[in-house]
Amino acid sequence: MGKKNPTRLIDAAGQPLEPTKSALALAPAEVETFVKRETEVLADEGTVLSCEEDASQREGVVDLREKIVDQREEMAGQREEMAGQREEMAGQREEMAGQREKAMRSQVGKARLKAALIKSTAAQLREANERLVVATVRAQTMADAAEQTTVQMAYMAEHDFLTGLPNRALLSDRLAQSITLARRYGKKVALMYLDIDHFKHINDSLGHAVGDRLLQSVAKRLQACIRLSDTVSRQGGDEFVVLLTEVEDAQSAILSAEKLIEAMAHPCLVNGHRLHATLSIGISLYPDDGKDAEAIIRNADTAMYQAKKSGRNKYMMFTPTMNDRAVTRQSIEQALHRALEKQEFVLHYQPKVSLDTGTITGAEALIRWQRPRHRLVSPKQFVSIAEECGLILPIGKWVLHEACRQAQDWLQAGLDLGQIAVNVSPMEFHGKNFLSGVREILNDTGLDPRHLELELTESGLMQDSEQTAATLLALKHLGVQIAVDDFGTGYSSLSYLRNFRIDTLKIDKSFVQDIDGDAGEAIVRAIIAMGMSLKQRVVAEGIETQHQLAFLQSHNCKEGQGYYWGRPVPAEEFATLLAGKTFKC
């Protein structure tokens, strides 16, 4: 064996064999593997081809080459087939991938749908929960409000709205309990009935707002004076009740009453006003003054009434004799109702006399009560009761009508009356129908208003000054005269003389009767001088002696009335007086 030629593939012409086109289609790695394998086959057979070999050998080589080419072609065919198979497989893979993607898309869609469903359900649940929570909380709030209202109503049922003190109902309950305990343990219970003196006047003159604040202030002071176990109650208006449980004796109650009066010694500051409120207190004890709550309260009230009658700003213990007076008062009230129905009232007339000439310048109409089986009752004995129970309004209206009617009769009979004077109580004057009532009576009787003079007290004029001024002005426009009765005994303020159009000042009889003393003279002189300077008529009331008359004449007082010329007389007698009598002056 000679030297081996390098491994080269050559064709039949001895040219290097070029790889076929299809062979290129193979991957280079595959070609290299194929060539290597063929070269090794040839080397193993000891067949080394070279250009120096003989022709037979060449032919063998050519055959071999052809064989190789055939094999190559066969292999190329196989390769193509394999490539086709690979393409087919790739197509299948793509198809499978598409199917997988489709399946995945379907799953994602389902998952999304499920998530959306869950989300929607959660939202619905949340909304339902939200509504439930809101409704429950609101129901609780409403229940709270209802409960609060119930508690508040229960509180209001037992307490006074203005002062917050226990009211009459709660007091009754506590008093009943206190009496039960006192009965069991042999103790006493004290009950004090209180009333603020002149509260109505404060209320009327300064307004209800001030009055209410005063009541609140008084309530606080009263509460500060008692033990926690005791009760201060407001009964209504300006009336309070203090319940002292378990007192040893009357002296304990008296000490408490003194403490309450002392507590009111300092003025109450209300809306810039310094108000001096004083108390009238009536005290009753269980079991001494009554065996039950009703009797205890009633008797304390009776005692308070007596304290007021006795000058106010004081306390009084109940005594059985007070009940007699209370019974009498109740009896009078009932009788007054009957008197009005049965026309048991009559008017008597007292002349007003000119101190210069002795002639009658007018008459004051004065009411009397012809009570069956009684002597003629003077107004002192029933007017205050009529005022308290409100009967003063119909009684006053009757007086005004009867006086006007009588005056008109006298005038029509040719008697020179001058003016008929009628007393008007503050309650009447401030009543809402007063003015219209006067007009109606004047129309009804036909009396010329210039012949009518209305007598008002100072305290009556001082109430509700704005309304008073309006009413007085309206009366003036009617032609009615206005006189101030009991001048000098009521309010010390003289501003109303400037503000109101007053025609006549009537000097109170207490000053006239004091003329004998220096102070009395001075006051009468001052009033006369003031009346003259204000261009007002001055009438001296209650003249009884020659000395008084002379004094008044010497100080230029023009008119007077009093027992000096006689007592008030019935209409018939007064007509006789008018007919011609001139009094001694």
Partner 1 sequence: MPTTDRKLCREAIRKTLVLRAGDTPDASAVAEAALGTWRLVAIRLTPVIGTLGVDVLFKRSLHLTSTAFPWLSSAWDHEENATVLASLKARLEACEKDAAAEASYTLLVTFTELLATLIGESLTERLLGPVWASSSPVPEQESIS
Residues in the chain: 585
Nearer to partner 1, 138 or 342 (CB): 138
**Beta carbon nearer to partner 1, 33 or 148:** 148
CB nearer to partner 1: pick between 139 and 376: 139
Helices and strands, number each (H, E), in the chain: 20, 16
The nearest distance, CB 128 to partner 1, in angstroms, is 9
Retrieve residue 537's tokens: 């008529």
Residue 423 contacts by C-beta under 8 Å, 6 or more apart in sequence? 364, 365, 366, 399, 455, 485
134 vs 255 by CB, closer to partner 1: 134
Q: Which is nearer to partner 1, 89 or 123 (CB)?
A: 123
CA-nearest of 175, 144, 156 to 296 is 175
CB of 155 to partner 1, least distance (A): 17
Q: Please, which residue, 92 or 129, has the CB nearer to partner 1?
A: 129
Question: CA-to-CA distance for 330 and 576, rounded, in angstroms?
Answer: 39
Cα-Cα-Cα-Cα dihedral of 264, 270, 276, 281, to 10°?
A: -50
Q: How far is the CB of 277 from partner 1 (least distance, A)?
A: 35
Minimum CB distance to partner 1 smaller for 144 or for 294: 144
The least distance separating partner 1 from the CB of residue 112, rounded to whole angstroms, comes to 20
Work out how close the CB of 97 gets to partner 1 at its nearest, in angstroms, rounded to a whole number: 41
Question: Of 179, 195, 175, which is closest to residue 187 (Cα–Cα)?
Answer: 179
Contact residues: partner 1, CB under 8 A: 122, 126-127, 129-130, 132-134, 136-138, 140-141
User: What is the residue-wise DSSP string for 86-155?
Assistant: HHHHHHHHHHHHHHHHHHHHHHHHHHHHHHHHHHHHHHHHHHHHHHHHHHHHHHHHHHHHHHHHHHHHHH
Least Cβ distance, residue 119 to partner 1 (angstroms): 11
State in angstroms the smallest separation of the CB of 123 from partner 1: 9
Q: Pick between residue 127 and residue 249 the one whose CB is nearest to partner 1.
A: 127
Give least dist CB 137 to partner 1, A: 4
Question: Which residues on adjacent β-strands are paired with residue 249?
Answer: none
Nearer to partner 1, 115 or 255 (CB): 115
Residue 161 C-beta: closest distance to partner 1, Å: 24
C-alpha angle with apex 26: 23 to 29, nearest 5 degrees? 110
Smallest CA-to-CA distance from 304 within 368, 355, 260 is with 260
What whole-number distance in Å separates Cα of residue 394 and Cα of residue 344?
A: 13
Q: Shortest CA distance to 168 belongs to which of 242, 234, 245, 216?
A: 234
- Residue ranges with strand state E in 321-436: 345-354, 360-369, 419-423
Nearest residue (CB) to partner 1, 136 versus 582 = 136
Residue 421 carries which side chain, given as an amino acid letter? A
As given in the structure block, the two tokens for residue 280 are: 């009238």
In the complex, what is the shortest distance from the CB of residue 130 to partner 1, in angstroms, rounded to a whole number? Answer: 3
H or E element, residue 474 = helix 465-478
Residue 245, number of CB atoms within 10 A of its CB: 19
